[in-house]
Amino acid sequence: MGSGNRQPASKVSREALATAFTHYKLGRLQEAADTLHRALRTDPEDEQLLYVLGSILAKTGPLQEAAAKLGRVVTMNPQHAAALNDLGGVLEEIGSQDEALARYRDAIAADHKFPEAHFNLANTLRAQRKFAEACEHYRAAIALKPSFPQALVNLGITLTDLGKHEEAIERYREALALNPAFMLPEKDVNDFGYYLLNYKKLDKAIPVFKLNVAMYPESYNAYDSLAEAQVAAGDKKSAIANYRKSLELNHGNTNAVEQLKKLEAVQVKP
């Protein structure tokens, strides 16, 4: 990712960065930060030391110091896309959403092929309910980084906000194809299933409900929804099995009790 021209690192800087990265890889973030703080006493204007320390402080805090260090980097080098992106994240954590948006936009201006900056900008736009623009940046992130399942999922969620349910389902499926273990939000998948069910698209709705059951096997509601779709499809045997499973998971599921009474009464009729 573009970060503009860098000054050659001094020996102190190189040694401090190497030590800090070792600490970082071992999960010793405080030791990494302490190492960089000491090095900055010798070279307080070293861009890379400031950037790495600011990025670590963005994870550990204090956030105000992280913002100050990253802000210093972008003052020294306005084209440092990574620092602009990280600063945006810190500003968002602090609650300065508009400033965060501006920094993400600056990061993209500095490096338009920066998928994480597009993704972060999209998340902030979505939080502001600017769904159409958020979709544009999720799509830009995916175009730059096709193996980006979280961007696909967030795009799907945002498409749902726009009422584009079928396109959202396709994005979810693409995310799962990239990472079968990727967990989609249970409520969103359930809502997609009902959207399809309401439009009588049973051949598409049932696989969506089955997907939810596979991802959330302890959810009584996932089984309840699948059973409802199976009733609509005329598969009463499967519906009974899934209503029973739902009731097993939640003995207080009165809907499952009522539906089982109806279905089992039908089954025992001569």
Q: Which of 10-19, 82-91, 182-191, 231-240 shows the lowest mean pLDDT across its residues?
A: 182-191
Find out whether 214 and 186 touch, Cβ atoms under 8 Å. no
Q: What is the pTM of this model?
A: 0.73
Q: Place 267 in a pLDDT band, splitting at 50, 70 and 90.
A: low
Residue 5: is its pLDDT beyond 60?
A: no
Kindly tell me if the per-residue pLDDT of 128 is higher than 70: yes
DSSP 28-70: -HHHHHHHHHHHHHH-TT-HHHHHHHHHHHHHHS-HHHHHHHH
Half-sphere exposure of 94 (CA within 13 A, CB side): 21
**How does the average pLDDT of the chain come out, rounded?**
91
The rounded percent of the chain whose pLDDT value lies above 70 is 95
Q: Which domains does the chain show, CATH number per domain?
A: 6-111 (1.25.40.10), 202-270 (1.25.40.10)
CA distance 36 to 40: 6
pLDDT of residue 9: 62
Min mean pLDDT across 6-10, 104-108, 126-130, 146-150 is at 6-10
pLDDT at 79: 97
User: Which amino acid belongs to residue 256?
Assistant: A
DSSP letter (8 states) at residue 147: S
